[in-house]
Protein backbone atom coordinates (compact mmCIF):
# COMPACT_ATOMS: atom_id res chain seq x y z
CA UNK A 1 0.00 0.00 0.00
CA UNK A 2 1.39 3.39 -0.98
CA UNK A 3 1.36 6.07 1.69
CA UNK A 4 -0.46 9.29 0.98
CA UNK A 5 1.18 12.55 2.07
CA UNK A 6 -0.89 12.62 5.25
CA UNK A 7 -0.01 9.02 5.91
CA UNK A 8 3.65 9.78 5.60
CA UNK A 9 3.17 12.73 7.89
CA UNK A 10 1.55 10.71 10.60
CA UNK A 11 3.86 7.84 9.96
CA UNK A 12 6.71 10.03 10.72
CA UNK A 13 4.06 11.16 12.95
CA UNK A 14 3.86 7.95 14.85
CA UNK A 15 7.32 8.63 15.84
CA UNK A 16 7.31 12.33 15.84
CA UNK A 17 3.99 12.59 17.50
CA UNK A 18 5.40 10.52 20.15
CA UNK A 19 8.42 12.64 19.94
CA UNK A 20 6.60 15.88 20.26
CA UNK A 21 4.62 14.34 23.02
CA UNK A 22 1.47 14.75 21.13
CA UNK A 23 0.13 13.07 18.16
CA UNK A 24 1.94 15.07 15.60
CA UNK A 25 4.36 12.70 14.29
CA UNK A 26 6.00 13.85 11.18
CA UNK A 27 5.59 12.05 7.91
CA UNK A 28 8.50 12.99 5.87
CA UNK A 29 8.47 10.50 3.11
CA UNK A 30 8.49 6.74 2.94
CA UNK A 31 12.26 6.28 2.81
CA UNK A 32 12.74 8.64 5.74
CA UNK A 33 10.10 6.80 7.76
CA UNK A 34 12.20 3.67 7.37
CA UNK A 35 15.33 5.61 8.26
CA UNK A 36 13.63 7.07 11.30
CA UNK A 37 12.34 3.71 12.46
CA UNK A 38 15.84 2.25 12.43
CA UNK A 39 17.30 5.15 14.41
CA UNK A 40 14.76 5.40 17.26
CA UNK A 41 15.90 4.06 20.63
CA UNK A 42 13.76 1.19 21.94
CA UNK A 43 12.95 -0.36 25.30
CA UNK A 44 12.52 -4.13 25.00
CA UNK A 45 11.52 -4.73 28.63
CA UNK A 46 8.06 -3.14 28.71
CA UNK A 47 4.94 -5.30 28.83
CA UNK A 48 1.43 -4.23 27.90
CA UNK A 49 -2.00 -5.60 28.71
CA UNK A 50 -3.89 -4.58 25.59
CA UNK A 51 -3.79 -4.80 21.83
CA UNK A 52 -6.50 -2.38 20.79
CA UNK A 53 -9.04 -4.76 22.33
CA UNK A 54 -10.96 -1.89 23.93
CA UNK A 55 -11.73 -0.33 20.55
CA UNK A 56 -8.71 2.00 20.44
CA UNK A 57 -4.93 2.00 20.29
CA UNK A 58 -3.71 3.75 23.43
CA UNK A 59 -0.27 5.34 23.45
CA UNK A 60 1.35 6.68 26.61
CA UNK A 61 3.49 9.70 25.66
CA UNK A 62 5.82 10.95 28.35
CA UNK A 63 7.90 14.10 28.60
CA UNK A 64 10.82 13.24 30.87
CA UNK A 65 12.78 15.78 32.92
CA UNK A 66 15.99 13.97 32.04
CA UNK A 67 19.41 15.44 31.34
CA UNK A 68 20.39 12.59 29.00
CA UNK A 69 19.66 11.76 25.37
CA UNK A 70 17.66 8.79 24.08
CA UNK A 71 20.73 6.55 24.34
CA UNK A 72 21.33 7.53 27.97
CA UNK A 73 24.34 9.75 27.28
CA UNK A 74 24.69 12.93 29.39
CA UNK A 75 23.80 16.12 27.54
CA UNK A 76 26.61 18.49 26.62
CA UNK A 77 27.08 21.85 28.31
CA UNK A 78 25.78 23.47 25.13
CA UNK A 79 22.61 21.38 25.27
CA UNK A 80 22.09 22.11 28.96
CA UNK A 81 22.29 25.83 28.30
CA UNK A 82 19.47 25.44 25.77
CA UNK A 83 17.30 23.84 28.46
CA UNK A 84 17.68 26.71 30.97
CA UNK A 85 17.44 24.09 33.72
CA UNK A 86 21.04 23.35 34.61
CA UNK A 87 22.40 19.87 35.19
CA UNK A 88 20.51 19.16 38.42
CA UNK A 89 19.24 15.60 38.36
CA UNK A 90 15.57 14.68 38.41
CA UNK A 91 13.54 11.64 37.40
CA UNK A 92 10.11 13.24 37.16
CA UNK A 93 7.83 12.68 34.19
CA UNK A 94 6.40 16.17 33.99
CA UNK A 95 4.30 15.67 30.86
CA UNK A 96 2.02 12.63 30.80
CA UNK A 97 -0.30 12.16 27.82
CA UNK A 98 -2.56 9.32 26.78
CA UNK A 99 -3.31 9.33 23.05
CA UNK A 100 -6.45 7.38 22.11
CA UNK A 101 -6.74 6.40 18.46
CA UNK A 102 -9.83 4.41 17.41
CA UNK A 103 -8.95 1.17 15.67
CA UNK A 104 -10.25 2.60 12.39
CA UNK A 105 -7.62 5.37 12.56
CA UNK A 106 -10.24 8.07 12.02
CA UNK A 107 -9.10 10.47 14.75
CA UNK A 108 -6.82 10.95 17.72
CA UNK A 109 -7.48 12.43 21.15
CA UNK A 110 -4.56 13.60 23.28
CA UNK A 111 -5.57 13.36 26.95
CA UNK A 112 -3.39 15.28 29.41
CA UNK A 113 -2.87 14.00 32.95
CA UNK A 114 -1.80 16.66 35.50
CA UNK A 115 1.65 15.88 36.88
CA UNK A 116 0.47 16.27 40.49
CA UNK A 117 -2.47 13.87 40.10
CA UNK A 118 -2.67 11.92 43.36
CA UNK A 119 -2.84 8.14 43.05
CA UNK A 120 -2.52 5.18 45.39
CA UNK A 121 0.08 2.86 43.90
CA UNK A 122 -0.01 -0.70 45.33
CA UNK A 123 3.75 -0.71 45.90
CA UNK A 124 4.50 2.97 46.53
CA UNK A 125 1.37 4.04 48.40
CA UNK A 126 -0.23 7.49 47.97
CA UNK A 127 1.93 9.55 45.62
CA UNK A 128 1.90 12.00 42.74
CA UNK A 129 1.76 10.25 39.40
CA UNK A 130 4.77 12.13 38.05
CA UNK A 131 6.93 10.59 40.78
CA UNK A 132 6.24 6.88 40.28
CA UNK A 133 8.83 6.57 37.51
CA UNK A 134 11.66 7.90 39.66
CA UNK A 135 10.60 6.08 42.82
CA UNK A 136 10.45 2.69 41.09
CA UNK A 137 13.71 3.35 39.29
CA UNK A 138 15.44 4.26 42.56
CA UNK A 139 14.14 1.12 44.26
CA UNK A 140 15.74 -1.11 41.63
CA UNK A 141 19.02 0.79 41.97
CA UNK A 142 18.94 0.41 45.76
CA UNK A 143 18.19 -3.31 45.45
CA UNK A 144 21.20 -3.51 43.14
CA UNK A 145 23.50 -1.92 45.72
CA UNK A 146 23.51 1.64 44.36
CA UNK A 147 22.60 4.50 46.68
CA UNK A 148 24.12 3.32 49.94
CA UNK A 149 27.14 5.55 49.42
CA UNK A 150 26.29 9.23 50.14
CA UNK A 151 28.26 10.16 47.02
CA UNK A 152 25.71 8.20 44.96
CA UNK A 153 22.78 10.19 46.34
CA UNK A 154 21.85 13.83 45.76
CA UNK A 155 18.95 15.98 46.87
CA UNK A 156 17.72 18.51 44.33
CA UNK A 157 16.20 21.93 44.98
CA UNK A 158 12.74 20.37 45.28
CA UNK A 159 13.91 18.16 48.15
CA UNK A 160 13.78 14.99 46.05
CA UNK A 161 16.34 12.26 46.63
CA UNK A 162 17.98 11.31 43.34
CA UNK A 163 20.31 8.34 42.92
CA UNK A 164 23.13 8.86 40.45
CA UNK A 165 22.49 5.98 38.05
CA UNK A 166 25.82 6.59 36.32
CA UNK A 167 27.35 4.62 39.20
CA UNK A 168 25.42 1.52 38.09
CA UNK A 169 26.51 -0.81 35.31
CA UNK A 170 24.56 -0.66 32.05
CA UNK A 171 22.38 -3.69 32.80
CA UNK A 172 21.27 -2.41 36.21
CA UNK A 173 20.69 1.12 34.91
CA UNK A 174 18.55 -0.13 32.03
CA UNK A 175 16.63 -2.44 34.38
CA UNK A 176 15.93 0.48 36.72
CA UNK A 177 14.78 2.80 33.93
CA UNK A 178 12.50 0.12 32.49
CA UNK A 179 11.03 -0.52 35.93
CA UNK A 180 10.21 3.18 36.23
CA UNK A 181 8.55 3.20 32.83
CA UNK A 182 6.57 0.04 33.59
CA UNK A 183 5.27 1.44 36.87
CA UNK A 184 4.14 4.58 35.07
CA UNK A 185 2.36 2.51 32.41
CA UNK A 186 0.57 0.50 35.10
CA UNK A 187 -0.33 3.65 37.04
CA UNK A 188 -1.83 5.36 34.00
CA UNK A 189 -3.84 2.23 33.26
CA UNK A 190 -5.25 2.26 36.77
CA UNK A 191 -6.06 5.95 36.65
CA UNK A 192 -7.72 5.92 33.23
CA UNK A 193 -9.21 2.44 33.05
CA UNK A 194 -7.67 1.67 29.65
CA UNK A 195 -4.97 -0.77 28.63
CA UNK A 196 -1.90 0.94 27.21
CA UNK A 197 -0.70 -0.50 23.90
CA UNK A 198 2.49 1.53 23.29
CA UNK A 199 4.95 3.79 25.09
CA UNK A 200 6.96 6.79 23.87
CA UNK A 201 9.24 9.04 25.92
CA UNK A 202 10.95 12.28 24.94
CA UNK A 203 13.48 14.27 26.94
CA UNK A 204 13.61 18.02 27.47
CA UNK A 205 16.03 18.49 24.60
CA UNK A 206 13.44 17.07 22.22
CA UNK A 207 11.09 20.01 22.78
CA UNK A 208 13.82 22.43 21.77
CA UNK A 209 15.07 20.45 18.77
CA UNK A 210 11.62 19.73 17.33
CA UNK A 211 10.55 23.35 17.58
CA UNK A 212 13.74 24.58 15.96
CA UNK A 213 13.43 21.96 13.21
CA UNK A 214 10.17 23.47 11.95
CA UNK A 215 11.22 27.09 12.40
CA UNK A 216 9.23 27.77 15.58
CA UNK A 217 5.53 27.59 16.42
CA UNK A 218 2.92 30.29 16.86
CA UNK A 219 1.29 30.82 20.26
CA UNK A 220 -0.83 33.55 21.82
CA UNK A 221 -0.92 34.79 25.44
CA UNK A 222 -3.72 36.65 27.19
CA UNK A 223 -1.27 38.60 29.37
CA UNK A 224 2.47 39.37 29.32
CA UNK A 225 4.63 36.91 31.28
CA UNK A 226 7.85 37.35 33.24
CA UNK A 227 8.50 34.30 35.42
CA UNK A 228 12.19 33.73 36.31
CA UNK A 229 11.96 30.15 37.60
CA UNK A 230 11.10 28.79 34.15
CA UNK A 231 12.74 31.59 32.20
CA UNK A 232 9.38 32.45 30.61
CA UNK A 233 9.35 36.06 29.45
CA UNK A 234 6.82 36.84 26.72
CA UNK A 235 4.62 39.76 25.64
CA UNK A 236 0.86 39.42 25.38
CA UNK A 237 -0.70 38.48 22.05
CA UNK A 238 0.31 36.21 19.16
CA UNK A 239 4.00 35.41 18.67
CA UNK A 240 6.32 32.76 17.27
CA UNK A 241 8.52 30.92 19.77
CA UNK A 242 11.40 28.51 19.27
CA UNK A 243 14.37 26.98 21.04
CA UNK A 244 14.71 27.63 24.76
CA UNK A 245 11.69 29.93 24.73
CA UNK A 246 9.48 27.04 23.61
CA UNK A 247 10.66 24.94 26.54
CA UNK A 248 10.06 27.79 28.99
CA UNK A 249 6.58 28.26 27.51
CA UNK A 250 5.55 24.66 28.18
CA UNK A 251 7.31 24.33 31.56
CA UNK A 252 6.03 27.42 33.39
CA UNK A 253 3.63 26.52 36.20
CA UNK A 254 4.15 29.33 38.72
CA UNK A 255 2.21 32.61 38.54
CA UNK A 256 -0.55 31.01 36.46
CA UNK A 257 -4.22 31.34 37.58
CA UNK A 258 -4.91 27.60 37.37
CA UNK A 259 -1.38 26.37 38.05
CA UNK A 260 -0.65 23.05 36.41
CA UNK A 261 -3.95 23.07 34.50
CA UNK A 262 -2.90 26.27 32.72
CA UNK A 263 0.49 24.69 32.09
CA UNK A 264 -1.26 21.74 30.48
CA UNK A 265 -3.23 24.04 28.19
CA UNK A 266 0.04 25.66 27.13
CA UNK A 267 1.48 22.26 26.33
CA UNK A 268 -1.61 21.41 24.31
CA UNK A 269 -1.40 24.68 22.37
CA UNK A 270 2.28 24.06 21.70
CA UNK A 271 1.66 20.51 20.52
CA UNK A 272 -1.30 21.44 18.36
CA UNK A 273 0.68 24.15 16.61
CA UNK A 274 3.76 21.97 16.27
CA UNK A 275 1.56 19.31 14.70
CA UNK A 276 0.07 21.89 12.36
CA UNK A 277 3.53 23.14 11.39
CA UNK A 278 4.87 19.62 10.84
CA UNK A 279 1.88 18.68 8.69
CA UNK A 280 2.25 21.78 6.54
CA UNK A 281 3.53 21.63 2.99
CA UNK A 282 6.35 24.00 3.89
CA UNK A 283 7.81 21.38 6.21
CA UNK A 284 7.11 18.28 4.14
CA UNK A 285 8.82 19.71 1.06
CA UNK A 286 11.86 21.15 2.84
CA UNK A 287 14.72 18.61 2.96
CA UNK A 288 16.56 20.63 5.59
CA UNK A 289 13.58 20.66 7.97
CA UNK A 290 12.95 16.97 7.38
CA UNK A 291 16.54 16.13 8.23
CA UNK A 292 16.36 18.29 11.36
CA UNK A 293 13.19 16.47 12.44
CA UNK A 294 14.89 13.15 11.86
CA UNK A 295 17.84 14.22 14.01
CA UNK A 296 15.57 15.56 16.78
CA UNK A 297 13.61 12.32 16.99
CA UNK A 298 16.73 10.14 16.88
CA UNK A 299 18.38 12.07 19.71
CA UNK A 300 15.36 12.44 21.96
CA UNK A 301 12.79 9.66 21.52
CA UNK A 302 12.48 6.21 23.11
CA UNK A 303 9.62 3.86 22.19
CA UNK A 304 8.64 0.31 23.13
CA UNK A 305 10.25 -2.36 20.99
CA UNK A 306 6.96 -3.78 19.71
CA UNK A 307 5.77 -0.55 18.10
CA UNK A 308 5.76 -1.00 14.31
CA UNK A 309 6.04 2.61 13.16
CA UNK A 310 5.45 1.82 9.49
CA UNK A 311 2.30 -0.20 10.19
CA UNK A 312 1.10 2.61 12.44
CA UNK A 313 1.69 5.11 9.62
CA UNK A 314 -0.51 3.10 7.28
CA UNK A 315 -3.27 2.93 9.89
CA UNK A 316 -3.30 6.72 10.27
CA UNK A 317 -2.94 7.67 6.63
CA UNK A 318 -6.22 9.59 6.42
CA UNK A 319 -5.94 11.66 9.58
CA UNK A 320 -5.62 15.45 9.40
CA UNK A 321 -5.11 18.34 11.82
CA UNK A 322 -8.78 18.81 12.64
CA UNK A 323 -9.00 15.10 13.53
CA UNK A 324 -6.49 15.56 16.38
CA UNK A 325 -8.10 17.01 19.52
CA UNK A 326 -6.73 17.84 22.98
CA UNK A 327 -8.45 17.23 26.33
CA UNK A 328 -7.57 17.12 30.03
CA UNK A 329 -8.87 14.47 32.42
CA UNK A 330 -11.46 15.81 34.91
CA UNK A 331 -10.12 16.77 38.34
CA UNK A 332 -11.91 17.51 41.61
CA UNK A 333 -9.38 19.92 43.18
CA UNK A 334 -6.03 21.48 42.34
CA UNK A 335 -5.17 22.65 45.86
CA UNK A 336 -5.58 19.50 47.95
CA UNK A 337 -2.98 18.37 50.49
CA UNK A 338 -1.47 14.89 50.28
CA UNK A 339 -0.61 12.44 53.03
CA UNK A 340 2.78 14.08 53.61
CA UNK A 341 1.64 17.69 53.39
CA UNK A 342 2.44 18.10 49.70
CA UNK A 343 0.18 19.98 47.26
CA UNK A 344 -1.70 17.54 45.02
CA UNK A 345 -4.40 17.38 42.36
CA UNK A 346 -7.28 15.04 43.17
CA UNK A 347 -9.58 13.16 40.82
CA UNK A 348 -12.65 10.95 40.94
CA UNK A 349 -11.25 7.76 39.43
CA UNK A 350 -14.65 6.49 38.29
CA UNK A 351 -15.33 9.79 36.54
CA UNK A 352 -11.93 9.64 34.84
CA UNK A 353 -12.66 6.10 33.62
CA UNK A 354 -15.96 7.20 32.10
CA UNK A 355 -14.40 10.30 30.56
CA UNK A 356 -11.54 8.42 28.92
CA UNK A 357 -13.82 5.65 27.67
CA UNK A 358 -15.76 8.24 25.69
CA UNK A 359 -12.83 8.80 23.32
CA UNK A 360 -12.57 5.27 22.02
CA UNK A 361 -14.12 6.14 18.66
CA UNK A 362 -16.42 3.38 17.48
CA UNK A 363 -17.94 2.22 20.75
CA UNK A 364 -16.28 -1.03 21.74
CA UNK A 365 -19.33 -1.94 23.79
CA UNK A 366 -21.60 -1.42 20.79
CA UNK A 367 -19.34 -3.56 18.64
CA UNK A 368 -19.36 -6.27 21.28
CA UNK A 369 -23.15 -6.03 21.48
CA UNK A 370 -23.42 -6.71 17.77
CA UNK A 371 -21.16 -9.72 18.18
CA UNK A 372 -23.33 -10.89 21.08
CA UNK A 373 -26.46 -10.69 18.95
CA UNK A 374 -24.74 -12.61 16.18
CA UNK A 375 -23.78 -15.25 18.75
CA UNK A 376 -27.42 -15.61 19.77
CA UNK A 377 -27.16 -14.12 23.27
CA UNK A 378 -30.51 -13.30 24.83
CA UNK A 379 -29.49 -9.94 26.33
CA UNK A 380 -27.62 -7.06 24.71
CA UNK A 381 -24.54 -6.62 26.98
CA UNK A 382 -24.53 -2.91 26.26
CA UNK A 383 -27.81 -2.61 28.17
CA UNK A 384 -26.44 -4.30 31.32
CA UNK A 385 -24.52 -2.30 33.94
CA UNK A 386 -22.17 -4.41 36.05
CA UNK A 387 -20.94 -3.40 39.53
CA UNK A 388 -18.00 -5.41 40.86
CA UNK A 389 -17.15 -5.89 44.54
CA UNK A 390 -13.69 -7.12 45.49
CA UNK A 391 -14.10 -9.22 48.64
CA UNK A 392 -10.44 -10.30 48.56
CA UNK A 393 -7.22 -8.58 49.57
CA UNK A 394 -5.93 -8.75 45.98
CA UNK A 395 -5.59 -5.13 44.84
CA UNK A 396 -6.98 -4.44 41.38
CA UNK A 397 -9.06 -7.60 41.01
CA UNK A 398 -12.42 -5.82 40.74
CA UNK A 399 -11.15 -3.56 37.97
CA UNK A 400 -9.62 -6.53 36.15
CA UNK A 401 -12.88 -8.48 36.26
CA UNK A 402 -14.85 -5.44 35.15
CA UNK A 403 -12.47 -4.94 32.22
CA UNK A 404 -13.07 -8.55 31.20
CA UNK A 405 -16.81 -7.84 31.13
CA UNK A 406 -16.57 -4.46 29.39
CA UNK A 407 -14.44 -6.19 26.79
CA UNK A 408 -17.53 -8.27 26.03
CA UNK A 409 -19.70 -5.18 25.77
CA UNK A 410 -21.11 -4.81 29.30
CA UNK A 411 -21.41 -1.28 30.70
CA UNK A 412 -19.07 -0.54 33.64
CA UNK A 413 -20.72 0.28 36.95
CA UNK A 414 -19.31 0.81 40.45
CA UNK A 415 -16.05 -0.66 41.68
CA UNK A 416 -16.01 -1.46 45.40
CA UNK A 417 -13.41 -2.91 47.75
CA UNK A 418 -14.83 -4.82 50.73
CA UNK A 419 -12.19 -7.35 51.85
CA UNK A 420 -13.55 -10.43 53.65
CA UNK A 421 -17.16 -9.32 53.10
CA UNK A 422 -17.92 -12.63 51.36
CA UNK A 423 -16.38 -16.08 51.14
CA UNK A 424 -18.18 -17.17 47.97
CA UNK A 425 -18.14 -15.45 44.58
CA UNK A 426 -21.69 -14.67 43.42
CA UNK A 427 -23.77 -12.65 40.98
CA UNK A 428 -26.64 -10.53 42.31
CA UNK A 429 -29.59 -9.11 40.37
CA UNK A 430 -33.13 -7.90 41.02
CA UNK A 431 -34.26 -11.43 40.27
CA UNK A 432 -32.24 -14.62 40.56
CA UNK A 433 -33.80 -15.75 37.29
CA UNK A 434 -32.96 -12.63 35.28
CA UNK A 435 -31.43 -13.21 31.87
CA UNK A 436 -28.88 -10.47 32.57
CA UNK A 437 -27.58 -12.25 35.68
CA UNK A 438 -27.47 -15.61 33.93
CA UNK A 439 -25.47 -14.15 31.07
CA UNK A 440 -22.96 -12.41 33.36
CA UNK A 441 -22.66 -15.55 35.47
CA UNK A 442 -21.85 -17.59 32.39
CA UNK A 443 -19.25 -15.03 31.26
CA UNK A 444 -17.47 -15.40 34.61
CA UNK A 445 -17.39 -19.17 34.68
CA UNK A 446 -20.82 -20.02 36.08
CA UNK A 447 -21.02 -18.14 39.37
CA UNK A 448 -24.10 -18.77 41.55
CA UNK A 449 -26.87 -16.17 41.28
CA UNK A 450 -28.73 -14.53 44.16
CA UNK A 451 -31.55 -11.99 44.20
CA UNK A 452 -31.11 -8.48 45.60
CA UNK A 453 -34.29 -6.43 45.40
CA UNK A 454 -32.35 -3.20 45.95
CA UNK A 455 -30.72 -3.47 42.53
CA UNK A 456 -32.51 -1.66 39.68
CA UNK A 457 -33.47 -3.51 36.50
CA UNK A 458 -30.55 -3.82 34.10
CA UNK A 459 -27.92 -3.72 36.87
CA UNK A 460 -25.96 -6.75 38.01
CA UNK A 461 -23.58 -6.85 40.97
CA UNK A 462 -20.68 -9.30 40.95
CA UNK A 463 -18.94 -10.20 44.22
CA UNK A 464 -15.46 -11.66 43.79
CA UNK A 465 -14.23 -13.75 46.73
CA UNK A 466 -11.13 -15.89 47.30
CA UNK A 467 -12.73 -18.85 45.51
CA UNK A 468 -12.97 -16.99 42.19
CA UNK A 469 -11.39 -18.83 39.21
CA UNK A 470 -13.00 -17.04 36.27
CA UNK A 471 -11.54 -14.57 33.74
CA UNK A 472 -8.73 -12.34 35.09
CA UNK A 473 -8.49 -14.43 38.29
CA UNK A 474 -4.68 -14.49 38.07
CA UNK A 475 -4.37 -10.74 37.66
CA UNK A 476 -4.57 -8.05 40.34
CA UNK A 477 -1.81 -7.88 42.95
CA UNK A 478 0.75 -10.59 42.32
CA UNK A 479 -0.84 -11.90 39.12
CA UNK A 480 1.12 -12.30 35.91
CA UNK A 481 -0.35 -9.08 34.60
CA UNK A 482 -0.54 -7.28 37.90
CA UNK A 483 -0.98 -3.57 37.79
CA UNK A 484 -3.78 -3.25 35.25
CA UNK A 485 -5.18 -0.68 37.61
CA UNK A 486 -1.89 0.03 39.32
CA UNK A 487 -2.57 3.71 39.77
CA UNK A 488 -5.61 3.52 42.02
CA UNK A 489 -7.36 1.12 44.35
CA UNK A 490 -10.68 0.24 42.84
CA UNK A 491 -13.01 1.61 45.51
CA UNK A 492 -10.93 4.61 46.39
CA UNK A 493 -10.82 7.98 44.80
CA UNK A 494 -7.77 9.85 45.89
CA UNK A 495 -9.71 12.17 48.16
CA UNK A 496 -9.61 9.20 50.58
CA UNK A 497 -5.90 9.63 51.30
CA UNK A 498 -5.51 13.41 51.48
CA UNK A 499 -5.11 15.60 54.55
CA UNK A 500 -7.22 18.36 53.03
CA UNK A 501 -9.51 17.84 50.07
CA UNK A 502 -9.07 21.27 48.50
CA UNK A 503 -11.66 23.72 47.28
CA UNK A 504 -14.25 23.25 44.56
CA UNK A 505 -13.06 24.31 41.13
CA UNK A 506 -14.55 27.57 39.85
CA UNK A 507 -16.20 27.30 36.40
CA UNK A 508 -13.41 29.18 34.63
CA UNK A 509 -10.93 26.53 35.80
CA UNK A 510 -13.19 23.48 35.61
CA UNK A 511 -14.02 24.25 31.97
CA UNK A 512 -10.77 23.82 30.06
CA UNK A 513 -10.29 25.22 26.53
CA UNK A 514 -10.77 22.69 23.72
CA UNK A 515 -9.07 22.84 20.34
CA UNK A 516 -7.57 20.72 17.58
CA UNK A 517 -4.34 20.64 15.58
CA UNK A 518 -5.38 23.21 12.98
CA UNK A 519 -3.72 26.58 12.44
CA UNK A 520 -6.24 28.45 14.60
CA UNK A 521 -4.24 29.63 17.63
CA UNK A 522 -6.26 30.22 20.84
CA UNK A 523 -4.91 32.76 23.33
CA UNK A 524 -4.17 31.19 26.72
CA UNK A 525 -2.88 32.15 30.17
Each domain of the chain, given as residue ranges in start order, spans: 5-348+510-516, 376-492
Of the candidates 79, 63, 91, the residue with the CA atom closest to the CA atom of residue 153? 91
Q: What angle do CA 159, 162, 168 make, to 5 degrees?
A: 170
C-alpha dihedral sign at 279, 280, 281, 285: negative
The CATH homologous superfamily to which domain 5-348+510-516 belongs is LCP protein (3.40.630.190)
CA-to-CA dists, residue 22 to 114, 132, 303, angstroms: 15, 21, 14
Helices (H) and strands (E) in the chain, counts: 16, 23
SS3 per residue for 82-106: HHCCCCCCCCCEEEEEEEEEECCCC
Distance separating alpha carbons of residues 4 and 23, to the nearest angstrom? 18
Distance separating alpha carbons of residues 97 and 105, to the nearest angstrom? 18
Distance separating alpha carbons of residues 514 and 410, to the nearest angstrom? 30
Distance separating alpha carbons of residues 125 and 486, to the nearest angstrom? 10
pTM of the model: 0.70
For each of the chain's 525 residues, which pLDDT tens digit applies? 343 333 333 333 333 343 343 333 334 444 455 555 566 788 888 988 666 667 788 999 998 877 777 877 778 888 887 777 644 556 778 889 999 988 877 788 889 999 999 998 888 888 999 999 999 998 999 898 887 766 666 655 455 667 777 778 889 989 999 999 999 999 999 899 888 999 999 888 888 888 898 889 999 999 999 998 888 999 999 999 998 899 899 888 889 888 888 999 998 888 888 877 876 656 667 778 878 877 888 888 888 988 877 677 666 666 777 778 888 998 988 989 988 888 999 988 878 887 888 777 545 545 545 555 555 567 888 889 999 999 998 888 888 888 888 877 888 889 898 888 888 899 999 888 888 999 999 989 899 998 888 899 899 999 999 999 888 776 554 333 333 333 333 334 555 566 667 777 777 676 777 777 776 778 999
Distance separating alpha carbons of residues 207 and 252, to the nearest angstrom? 14
Distance separating alpha carbons of residues 39 and 301, to the nearest angstrom? 10
Amino acid sequence: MALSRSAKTIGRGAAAVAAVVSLTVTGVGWSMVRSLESSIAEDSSLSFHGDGEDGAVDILLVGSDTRTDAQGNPLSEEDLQLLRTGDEATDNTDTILLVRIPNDGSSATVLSIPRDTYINNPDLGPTKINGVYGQSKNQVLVDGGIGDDPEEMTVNDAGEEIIDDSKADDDLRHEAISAGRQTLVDSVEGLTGVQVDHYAEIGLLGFVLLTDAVGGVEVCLNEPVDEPLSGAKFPAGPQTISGSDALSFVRQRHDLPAGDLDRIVRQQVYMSQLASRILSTGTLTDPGKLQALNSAVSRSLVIDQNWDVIDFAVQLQNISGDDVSFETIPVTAIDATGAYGESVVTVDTDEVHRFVAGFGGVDAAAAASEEAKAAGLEVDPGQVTVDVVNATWMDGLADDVQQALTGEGYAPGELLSEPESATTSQVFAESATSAEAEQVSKALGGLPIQSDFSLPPGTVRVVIADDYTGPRASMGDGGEQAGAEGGAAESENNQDWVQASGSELPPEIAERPKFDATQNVPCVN
